[in-house]
A and B are shown apart, each in its own frame.
Chain A
Amino acid sequence: GNSVTQMEGPVTLSEEAFLTINCTYTATGYPSLFWYVQYPGEGLQLLLKATKADDKGSNKGFEATYRKETTSFHLEKGSVQVSDSAVYFCALSDQGTGRRALTFGSGTRLQVQP
Chain B
Amino acid sequence: NAGVTQTPKFQVLKTGQSMTLQCAQDMNHNSMYWYRQDPGMGLRLIYYSASEGTTDKGEVPNGYNVSRLNKREFSLRLESAAPSQTSVYFCASSEGGFQPQHFGDGTRLSIL
Main secondary structure of the interface of A (DSSP, over half): strand
* Minimum CB–CB distance for B2 against chain A, Å: 13
Q: Is the CB–CB distance between B103 and A45 below 8 Å?
A: yes
- Measured between alpha carbons, how far is A41 from B104 in the docked complex, in Å? 10
- Measured between alpha carbons, how far is A105 from B103 in the docked complex, in Å? 17
Q: Is the CB–CB distance between A32 and B40 below 8 Å?
A: no
Give chain B's interface residue range (CB within 8 Å of chain A). Answer: 20 to 34
Confirm or deny: A85 has a beta carbon within 8 angstroms of a beta carbon on chain B: no
Q: Is the CB–CB distance between B99 and A100 below 8 Å?
A: no
Q: Is the CB–CB distance between A106 and B4 below 8 Å?
A: no
User: CB-CB contacts of B17-57 with A at 8 A, as 1s and 0s?
Assistant: 00000000000000000000000111111001000000010
B42 proximity list for chain A (CB < 8 A) = 4, 89, 91, 103-107
Give the contacts of B38-95 with A (CB-CB under 8 A).
40-45, 48, 56, 58-59, 90, 92
- Measured between alpha carbons, how far is A32 from B98 in the docked complex, in Å? 11
- Measured between alpha carbons, how far is A102 from B33 in the docked complex, in Å? 11
B106 proximity list for chain A (CB < 8 A) = 42-43
Confirm or deny: A46 has a beta carbon within 8 angstroms of a beta carbon on chain B: yes
* Minimum CB–CB distance for A101 against chain B, Å: 4
Confirm or deny: A93 has a beta carbon within 8 angstroms of a beta carbon on chain B: yes
Scoring B99, B101, B105 by chain A CB atoms within 10 A of each residue's CB, the highest score goes to B99
**Top 9 closest A-B pairs, CB basis?**
A104-B42, A43-B103, A101-B45, A100-B98, A44-B103, A104-B43, A43-B104, A101-B58, A46-B101
Q: B residues engaging A (CB < 8 A)? A: 4, 40-45, 48, 56, 58-59, 90, 92, 98-106
17 additional A-B pairs beyond A100-B45, A101-B59, A104-B44, beta carbons within 8 Å, are A4-B42, A42-B106, A43-B90, A43-B102, A43-B104, A44-B43, A44-B100, A46-B101, A89-B42, A93-B99, A100-B98, A101-B45, A101-B48, A102-B43, A102-B100, A103-B42, A106-B40
